[in-house]
Amino acid sequence: MTIGEAATITGLPQKTIRYYEEIDLVRPDRGANGYRNFSRSDTHKLAFVARARSLGFSVGECRALLSLYEDDNRASADVRQLAGEHLMQIDVKIAELQAMRRTLADLVERCRGDHRPDCPILDELAAHKAAFHKEPVS
Amino acid sequence: MTIGEAATITGLPQKTIRYYEEIDLVRPDRGANGYRNFSRSDTHKLAFVARARSLGFSVGECRALLSLYEDDNRASADVRQLAGEHLMQIDVKIAELQAMRRTLADLVERCRGDHRPDCPILDELAAHKAAFHKEPVS
DNA sequence: TCTTGACCTTCCAGTTGCTGGAGGGACTAC
DNA sequence: GTAGTCCCTCCAGCAACTGGAAGGTCAAGA
């Protein structure tokens, strides 16, 4: 099938599919006219990668998952390990974002948001107010 | 002060400071020897940006915040608006990550993680198992 | 047959926010 | 003079695409 059809089926942009070929995630063969020809196995891999990406796995991790997937002698422990590490990284990111969120929400709430210039958000970012007086001699 | 000192004070890598100069966030002047010379105002701006970045603001948003900060006629409403939008984006990201987290945690828990190949994580990623039989005619 | 339009191709550049390294000048201390 | 530590610029690269230009291919219709 053509790249257009593969894109429709997998929900991936054609550009992304070409990119995945470039980095050797898939290797569709070519017709006489130079057009890519995607097998069902190709589109299946693409869909696999698309799902893994949507779970936040990096392309490198997707590659590893794909090769585990294609390895009949894999140990599920390896897959679990990979997913477990990814899960921990997600937890870290969530924690970071929640910390930002707390600070920001507090600042936004405390800002009057009117026509006047004084603003706790900028105060917080400036932090050491006292030390800042426009352009001290340098 | 030199870039090294500015880096120590702000906690930013020198490379980052040079980059911030390149994109015009700061404009330190230069000594006769070509060395950058950071004023207190420069380092203050850098620290401001560092804090804003640590709250997840993009460099573009930092630029906007900085120009609001330097505008005595600003309306705090504008600052609040900017921060509020950023807050919403953070909420979106948190929600996305939590959705991933839920799915992943469930899969990881259901995976036995032993020497055998069968694995619910790969099953989930493959999703349409039945449709995939190695290399159908294409 | 010609042409139109929808495909497909490659290649190059840009995005965000840095980071690393090469190759070289400047300054300080001994 | 020389060693060591600064500083400078420029180029390249990371992730994971995305956009666009310039051009080949193919099917359908006048």
The enclosing domain of B42 has a CATH number of 1.10.1660.10
Residues 108-137 of B with CB under 8 A from A: 108, 111-119, 121-122, 124-128, 131-132, 134-136
Torsion of CA B29, B35, B41, B43, to 10 degrees: 150
Split into its structural domains, chain B has a count of 2
B48 shares a domain with B8:
yes
Q: B112: domain range?
A: 91-132
Which nucleotide minimizes the distance between its C1' and the CA of B16?
A: C18
Q: What is chain B's pLDDT, residue by residue, as a tens digit (138 residues)? A: 999 999 999 999 999 999 999 999 999 999 999 999 999 999 999 999 999 999 999 999 999 999 999 999 999 999 999 999 999 999 999 999 999 999 999 999 999 999 999 999 999 999 854 444 444 333
Which nucleotide minimizes the distance between its C1' and the CA of B2?
A: D7
Q: Is residue A88 part of a domain?
A: no
Residue A127: predicted pLDDT: 81
Q: Which of A91, A107, A132 sits opposite B83 (nearest CB)?
A: A107
| Rounded CA separation A53/B116 (Å) | 25
Q: Is residue B138 part of a domain?
A: no
Ramachandran bin of A34, using left for φ above 0, alpha for ψ from -120 to 50, beta for the remaining angles: left
Q: Is residue A107 part of a domain?
A: no
Using the beta-carbon criterion (under 8 Å), do A113 and B73 form an inter-chain contact? Answer: no
B95 shares a domain with B70:
no
8 Å CB contact between A111 and B75: no
B4 shares a domain with B56:
yes
Residue B130: predicted pLDDT: 41
Q: Is residue A81 part of a domain?
A: no
Long-range contacts of the stretch A106-112 (C-beta < 8 A, 24+): A107/B83, A108/B80, A108/B83, A108/B84, A108/B87, A111/B76, A111/B79, A111/B80, A111/B83, A112/B76, A112/B80
B60 shares a domain with B32:
yes
3-class SS at A30?
strand
Query: Looking at residue A13, what DSSP letter applies?
Result: -
**A60 to A20, A90, B103, B125: CA distances (angstroms):** 11, 16, 20, 15
8 Å CB contact between B11 and B48: no
Residue A79 CA from chain centroid, whole number: 19
Using the beta-carbon criterion (under 8 Å), do B40 and A131 form an inter-chain contact? Answer: yes
How near does any CA of chain A get to the CA of B135, in Å? Answer: 5
For the cut 90, the answer to whether the pLDDT of residue A106 exceeds it is: yes
Q: Which of B48, B108, B135 sits opposite A84 (nearest CB)?
A: B108
Tokens of residue B111, six digits: 């995976």
Q: Is residue A56 part of a domain?
A: yes
Residue A129: predicted pLDDT: 42
B64 shares a domain with B121:
no
Complex ipTM value: 0.86
8 Å CB contact between B103 and B65: no
Helix axes A40-54, A14-22, angle to 10 degrees: 100
B113 shares a domain with B54:
no
Q: Which of A56, A101, A135 sits opposite B39 (nearest CB)?
A: A135
B101 shares a domain with B69:
no
Q: Is residue B84 part of a domain?
A: no
Q: Is residue B123 part of a domain?
A: yes
3-class SS at B29?
strand
**A87 to A55, A56, A80, A115: CA distances (angstroms):** 10, 9, 10, 45
Residue B128: predicted pLDDT: 58
CB within 8 Å of A135: residues ≥ 6 apart: B39, B40, B41
Q: Is residue A126 part of a domain?
A: no
Residue B56: predicted pLDDT: 96
3-class SS at B23?
coil
